[in-house]
């Protein structure tokens, strides 16, 4: 696979690691590849980062044909760069594409182009503790017609953003509000796909929670509004009576790679992990009787995020004395240790650049 490269002749100054934040700065190049029915994917290229132009009738602008992924490139102590389970992201991108009637990518091509792009931008992987290069592959339909159908034209792109440490001020447990009005998705819907539309639809509840002093919402299932699904853009896990319970992937939940990795780490440590339906009633029974020991969210950005307070129908429940629990801390240490190369990867998850 031949990738055309157009170098950016006016590269920008790199921000200091202390000023990175999340998703504010972008590297000097972006990856682009086009799709056309009959012709397939073609013209993979790395070109200077910049604006793109779209036909005003483009499918993505009217019917929301868009999917994305999120992963990080980590710099290890010896200066080398590594990825964490990138094939999982590629497979999930194709699952999302299939759901949204977008064209899938050949796994090998997606993998090679991803690595080639990161290699090209490798100087942008920051060095300070906890920082990383956040990589955002995405795809959208850009048919130049208002007709509604499977797209005949699409664009696949990758952009990258050097990002600061998620926990600059230490790992503080978050306050979560259980949402009882809006739902994120329903079974049979698009919950398992990583698509922009899911985010557009869930922003309103997030904003309402923010106004009340909660950082994110915990979603309940869209039919009975009883079963716990996930937290904002993170999957969620509970330690009840020594057992770890996480909502089963029923179709309305995003199958997180961090979720999957946590389950594998926990099982390797000898914990019992159960994927099943968990109702709010059962959860609050466990809280009230003191059997809920720890609760945390999982996702690429935060890795593991302890939950310190849960608000439901105007009652607030404190979890684990609002401190990070020992198992949450252990999971965080193991996963980040593997990702940044501080501890040996006995799972085979690391992919050196």
Ligand X SMILES: *Cc1c(COP(=O)(O)O)cnc(C)c1O
Cα separation, 261 vs 235, in Å, equals 12
- Point out which span in 72-80, 166-174, 251-259, 269-277 binds ligand X (CB under 6 A): 251-259
Among 300, 305, 328, 339, binds ligand X (CB under 6 A): 300
Find residue 316's DSSP bridge partners.
Answer: 311
For residue 160, the minimal CB distance to ligand X (Å) is 16
Q: Is 257 in the site for ligand X (CB under 6 A)?
A: yes
For residue 153, the surrounding DSSP H or E stretch is strand 153-163
What tokens appear for 248 in the block?
């089963």
Judged by CB, which is closer to ligand X: 219, or 312? Answer: 219
Over the window 70 to 99, marking each residue x when it contacts ligand X by CB under 6 A and - when it does not, the resulting string is x-----------------------------
- Point out which span in 94-102, 168-176, 253-261, 286-294 binds ligand X (CB under 6 A): 253-261
For residue 224, the minimal CB distance to ligand X (Å) is 20
Q: Is 236 in the site for ligand X (CB under 6 A)?
A: no
Give the CA-trace dihedral at 245, 251, 253, 258, to 10 degrees. Answer: 70
What tokens appear for 315 in the block?
């009652």
- Point out which span in 209-217, 298-306, 308-316, 331-339 binds ligand X (CB under 6 A): 298-306
What tokens appear for 174 in the block?
């978050």
Q: Is 258 in the site for ligand X (CB under 6 A)?
A: yes
Cα separation, 177 vs 97, in Å, equals 31
Residue 64 carries which DSSP code? -
Q: Is 161 in the site for ligand X (CB under 6 A)?
A: no
Q: Is 194 in the site for ligand X (CB under 6 A)?
A: yes
Residue pair 234/219 in contact by the 8 Å Cβ criterion: no
For residue 290, the minimal CB distance to ligand X (Å) is 29
Cα separation, 313 vs 315, in Å, equals 6
- Point out which span in 122-130, 232-240, 288-296, 308-316 binds ligand X (CB under 6 A): 232-240
DSSP assignment string, 113-124: HHHHHHHHTGGG
Q: Is 328 in the site for ligand X (CB under 6 A)?
A: no
Q: Is 67 in the site for ligand X (CB under 6 A)?
A: no
Among 64, 222, 299, 320, binds ligand X (CB under 6 A): 299
Q: Is 195 in the site for ligand X (CB under 6 A)?
A: no
For residue 191, the minimal CB distance to ligand X (Å) is 8
Cα separation, 318 vs 311, in Å, equals 9
Instruction: Classify residue 334 as left (phi > 0), alpha (psi -120 to 50) or beta.
Output: alpha
Phi, psi of 339 (to 5 degrees): -65, -40
Q: Is 233 in the site for ligand X (CB under 6 A)?
A: yes
What tokens appear for 45 in the block?
């290229």
Size of the site for ligand X (CB under 6 A): 14
Q: Is 230 in the site for ligand X (CB under 6 A)?
A: yes
Q: Is 137 in the site for ligand X (CB under 6 A)?
A: no
Q: Is 331 in the site for ligand X (CB under 6 A)?
A: no
Among 90, 159, 177, 254, binds ligand X (CB under 6 A): 254
Q: How far apart are the first and last CA of the chain?
A: 18
- Given CA atoms 263, 88, 123, 53 in this order, what sign does their dihedral have? negative
Instruction: Classify 74 as helix, strand or coil.
Output: strand
Judged by CB, which is closer to ligand X: 70, or 130? Answer: 70
- List contacts with ligand X (CB under 6 A): 70, 194, 230, 233-235, 254, 256-259, 298-300
């Amino acid at each position: 696979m031949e990738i055309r490269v157009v170098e950016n002749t006016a590269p920008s100054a790199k921000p200091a690691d202390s000023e990175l934040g999340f998703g504010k700065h972008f590297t000097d190049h972006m990856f682009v590849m086009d799709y056309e029915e009959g012709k397939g994917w073609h013209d993979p290229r790395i070109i200077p980062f910049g604006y793109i132009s779209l036909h005003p009738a483009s499918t993505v602008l009217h019917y929301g044909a868009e999917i994305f992924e999120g992963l990080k490139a980590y710099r290890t102590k010896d200066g080398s760069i590594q990825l964490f389970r990138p094939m999982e992201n590629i497979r999930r991108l194709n699952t999302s594409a299939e759901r949204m009637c977008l064209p899938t990518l050949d796994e090998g091509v997606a993998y090679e182009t991803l690595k080639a792009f990161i290699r090209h931008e490798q100087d942008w992987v920051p060095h300070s503790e906890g920082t990383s290069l956040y990589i955002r592959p995405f795809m959208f339909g850009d048919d130049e017609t208002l007709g509604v159908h499977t797209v005949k034209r699409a664009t696949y792109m990758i952009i990258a953003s050097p990002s600061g440490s998620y926990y600059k001020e230490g790992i503080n447990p978050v306050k979560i509000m259980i949402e009882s009005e809006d739902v994120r998705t329903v079974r049979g819907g698009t919950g398992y796909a990583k698509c922009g539309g899911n985010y557009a639809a869930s922003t309103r509840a997030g904003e309402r929670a923010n106004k009340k002093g909660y950082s994110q919402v915990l979603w309940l299932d869209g039919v009975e509004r009883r079963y716990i699904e996930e937290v904002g853009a993170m999957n969620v896990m509970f330690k009840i009576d020594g057992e770890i319970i996480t909502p089963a992937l029923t179709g309305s939940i995003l199958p997180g790679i961090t979720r999957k990795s946590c389950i594998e780490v926990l099982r390797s440590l000898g914990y019992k992990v159960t994927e099943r339906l968990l109702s709010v009633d059962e959860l609050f029974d466990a809280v009230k009787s003191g059997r809920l020991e720890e609760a945390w969210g999982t996702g690429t950005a935060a890795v593991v995020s302890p939950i310190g307070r849960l608000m439901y129908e105007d009652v607030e429940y404190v979890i684990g004395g609002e401190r990070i629990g020992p198992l949450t801390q252990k999971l965080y240490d193991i996963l980040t240790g593997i990702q940044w190369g501080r501890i040996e990867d006995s799972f085979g998850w690391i992919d050196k650049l």
